[in-house]
Amino acid sequence: MIDAHHTSSLTLSEAKAEYEKLGTEIAKHDDLYHGQDAPLVSDAEYDALRRRYTALEEQFPELKSDISQSQRVGAAPSEKFKKIRHNVPMLSLGNAFSVEDVDDFMERIRRFLGMSADMLLEITAEPKIDGLSCSLRYENGVLVSAATRGDGSEGEDVTVNVKTIKEVPLFLNDPSSDLALLSHLLSQAEKEDQGARVKIPEVIEIRGEIYMRHDDFAGLNTAQQANGGKIFANPRNAAAGSLRQLDSRITASRPLHFFAYAWGEVSEMPAQSQIEMVEAFHTYGFQTNPLMKLCHTAQELITHYFSIEEQRATLGYDIDGVVYKVNDLGLQQRLGFVARSPRWAIAHKFPAERATTIVCGIDINVGRTGALTPIARLEPVTVGGVVVSNVTLHNEDYIKGIGNDGSVLREGRDIRIGDTVLVQRAGDVIPQIVDVLLDKRPSFAIPYAFPQVCPCELKTPAVRDVGLKGEDGSVRRCTGEFACPAQRIEHLKHFVSRRAFDIEGLGEKQIEFFYEKDLIREPSDIFNLQLRDQASELVKIRNFEGFGELSTRNLFHAIDSRRQIGLERFIYALGVRHVGESTAATLARAYGSWAAFWAILERLTGQDLLLCEDARAELDALDQIGDAVIDALCKFFGEAHNMAAVLRLVAQLEILDAQMPKQDTLVAGKTIVFTGSLERMSRDEAKAQAERLGAKVSGSVSKKTDIVVAGPGAGSKLKQAATLGVRVMSEDEWLEMVV
């Protein structure tokens, strides 16, 4: 398992490399879960990645930027739907997994607000529905739009489909009442005469969860099977698939439900507390969860958590935890947000569900960077309503029972073919192996011998990363690089992926097909595909099985539409090791144009050692760029084959200059240090305020510091600022500038 907290022994260079690797992996899983409804890892594995990512940010705050994965939520909207911009972002919740985590949550809130232990702090507790988040916008009481979460800032327009859900009122107040149907036409005076029941803000975005009940899910799958349709793995996937239909008649035929529990933009708040807001939703005509309760202590929260867990099997719908929220909206405002989550709320997850099965075999998958990843083939088993048949074993040390940091996993029990294993899952995703049942180990089971050569046709040696800068020593990689067919295919898949070139109709299966047909062997071949099609009857795409006249024309159109691409996407699409989205964006913003970036690469990989060292120093000075990234750039662009392939690709494209970040506030982009005692707000509030305004908050003063805000008792940091000539201001001066 990933150690989420052990970061103190890392150097900055090692942390940067791991941070970039984690960011890329998190982005991939966000896209699979939110964008494609096809998750590949368990909630527990995903949460561990997020915790480790956050721990690295806390230990090395200089890694964090406005494009870090901690600033992102969900995945990009489907191209099938129009997009709706959320005026108030739809953010995710942080997670709690133990009683201690809940105590810490309460203590953090009190500390942030400066509240003593004896002061009253009201917290609501409600079931966490396992469904699809949706935001409903009402203007003058009328439903005008509905959007999915999407990436948190922009979602899919599913208005027409949502209007088919019976539990979503088209007009606020009781939808069965004639008066309610007309309430949006009444004058404000008439509304006030009717009392609070019809007191509706001019604009209100009501948010909640679209879900499917267990009995409805079973009935849907029975009907799907009878009609030869898709069988859904679980209620959440069924709900997501039903909502995201281009034909709203299909959505209307599906038994979807909606619980309201939150809000986005509101022109005038109808209440001053969380629980009163939810009660207002109920009066508007929404279903709200009857298990929501107001608590005052951590013990009350835990008691209600276990009470809900006991009722979980009888609720008739899926939940995966309990959500706690500060009740007072004024305190919520003060607490604000940290990264992708509100400080005033947290999700207390239920323990993962478990089952036993048998390891039938272990296959090796070769990734884009040559990493050999073992995949266990399992005897199919149902875990929490989902049939699973394979699970990643991560690396050869994991199979042996050794963690990445050398810690002992499963009390040292290794995993062998034939073993009976305990698997667990949380939510609706593929599980992980958590233990091996030695008493059921068959006599023929022998320790697994991890391959020393790549399983590709070249059979090139596979070596471990031990001793290399920024590398995970547990990973064994094929040394064939781009000569290895498996790596070349994975590079091409990465090139056309959603966050790279995102070529519609050219997915993983199509890449494999065209590779086998020897039509696409490098990225530039994609943009020459139509020319080859026109030049020879032997390779006419429309003559291949699965391709007709229309699909071929659409494919060529999709390829042509990507001949113009932004610099940051282009750099990311090349698939250079350690260069994920965040690093690609950093490089793009630093150099602005492809010509400028190419110039630094030529210096970096040239024969002039002085120019090379100068280029390394220039790159190393950039935020988030260290030895691991620079070495990877050297290795990739230092190979003549790669340089030639990139030049052939560039000749096919128009690479747009990078879009520089907006400077909307006086402190956007500046580095701020707070020191001494702040009297008008807590240190956490000051930091949160600065970050909301686009500033970067540092814990130490350096030449890169722009402003030091000094309160009473400021010591060494104030002296350092004076020595370096950094601008110093008081708390009052700071507030006057930013408020």
**pLDDT tens column, 592-650:** 899 999 999 999 998 888 999 999 988 887 766 888 899 989 988 988 888 888 999 99
Q: Which of 103-117, 162-176, 391-405 has the lowest mean pLDDT?
A: 162-176
Higher-confidence residue of 692 and 133: namely 133
What integer is the mean pLDDT of 226-254? 85
384 pLDDT above the threshold of 90 = no
Going by pLDDT thresholds of 50, 70 and 90, the confidence category of residue 35 is low
Give the per-residue pLDDT at 663: 58
428 pLDDT above the threshold of 50 = no
Give the per-residue pLDDT at 666: 84
Give the per-residue pLDDT at 487: 86
Which of 38-42, 339-343, 371-375 has maximum average pLDDT?
Answer: 371-375
What integer is the mean pLDDT of 523-542? 85
| In the block, residue with structure tokens 């990689």 | 477
Q: Which of 84-93, 272-281, 683-692 has the lowest mean pLDDT?
A: 683-692
The predicted model scores a pTM of 0.53
What integer is the mean pLDDT of 646-673? 83
Going by pLDDT thresholds of 50, 70 and 90, the confidence category of residue 144 is very high
Going by pLDDT thresholds of 50, 70 and 90, the confidence category of residue 5 is low
Distance from CA of residue 698 to its chain's centroid? 25
How many percent of the chain have pLDDT more than 70?
Answer: 87
Give the per-residue pLDDT at 148: 94
What integer is the mean pLDDT of 211-219? 91
Q: What's the mean pLDDT when you consider all of the chain?
A: 84
Q: What is the CA angle 471-475-480, rounded to 5?
A: 95
Give the per-residue pLDDT at 648: 94
Higher-confidence residue of 663 and 588: namely 588
Q: Which burial class, exposed, middle or buried, applies to 547 when counting CB atoms under 10 A from its CB (0-12, 13-18, 19+)?
A: middle
Domains of the chain: 12-72 (1.10.287.610), 94-349 (3.30.470.30), 353-440 (2.40.50.140), 565-656 (1.10.150.20), 671-738 (3.40.50.10190)
482 pLDDT above the threshold of 90 = no
Tokens encoding 399:
């199979």
CB of 327 closer than 8 Å to CB of 278: no
CB of 726 closer than 8 Å to CB of 691: no
Tell me the pLDDT tens digit for each residue of 146-161.
999 987 888 899 999 9
Quick check: is 128 catalytic?
yes
Measure the CA–CA gap between 36 and 84, rounded to whole angstroms.
18
Give the per-residue pLDDT at 73: 54
- Give strand pairing partners of 354: 424
Q: Which of 47-61, 268-282, 482-496 has the lowest mean pLDDT?
A: 47-61
Tell me the pLDDT tens digit for each residue of 256-296.
999 999 999 999 999 999 999 999 999 999 999 999 999 99
Helix ranges (DSSP H) in 536-639: 549-560, 567-573, 581-591, 594-605, 609-620, 627-637
Residue 31: DSSP 8-state? I
Is the dihedral angle over the CA atoms 8, 9, 11, 14 positive or is it negative? negative
Give the per-residue pLDDT at 126: 97
Give the per-residue pLDDT at 681: 79
Higher-confidence residue of 323 and 476: namely 323
Q: Identify the active-site residue in 16, 128, 325, 493.
A: 128
Residue 310: DSSP 8-state? H
Going by pLDDT thresholds of 50, 70 and 90, the confidence category of residue 133 is very high
Tokens encoding 273:
């507390």
Measure the CA–CA gap between 561 and 646, rounded to whole angstroms.
19
- With H, G, I as helix, E, B as strand and everything else as coil, classify residue 573: helix
What integer is the mean pLDDT of 404-428? 85
68 pLDDT above the threshold of 70 = no
Tokens encoding 423:
């698997």
176 pLDDT above the threshold of 80 = no
CB of 697 closer than 8 Å to CB of 717: no
Amino acid letter at 156?
E
Measure the CA–CA gap between 151 and 68, rounded to whole angstroms.
13
What integer is the mean pLDDT of 504-530? 90
Going by pLDDT thresholds of 50, 70 and 90, the confidence category of residue 10 is confident
Give the per-residue pLDDT at 413: 94
Tell me the pLDDT tens digit for each residue of 431-446.
789 899 999 999 999 9
Going by pLDDT thresholds of 50, 70 and 90, the confidence category of residue 38 is low
What integer is the mean pLDDT of 210-229? 87
Helix ranges (DSSP H) in 31-163: 43-59, 99-113, 159-162
